[in-house]
Amino acid sequence: MLSKTAQVNNKLGFHLRAVSVIVQTALKYRATVTLAKDLRKRNGRSVFDLMLLEASPGTTLTIEVDGVDESEAMDAILKLFKSNFGED
């Protein structure tokens, strides 16, 4: 299992479009993807679960990825955070 942190830096935080991009990416891999904030872990393959994190700009999240393609999945998800989910 891999675990890393990433900061939400886009202007609107975790809104529907940003969360949808994460879910679409997570679904491309066999690994389990979990995002956590303040000890609340949520399924990275569920738009509803990720919206419940209420991650505003500046929030630091923990990303956990576990499975056969965990390295590739983690790289793809971190890339989304670095690119502000394709916004700005």
Catalytic residues: 15
Q: What share of the chain is helix, strand, coil (3-state, %, to 5)?
A: 35, 25, 40
- Rounded Cα distance, 27 and 25, in Å: 5
Residue 14: which of 67, 65, 40, 2 has the closest Cα?
A: 40
Structural tokens at position 58: 């500046």
Residue 63: which of 77, 79, 83, 46 has the closest Cα?
A: 77
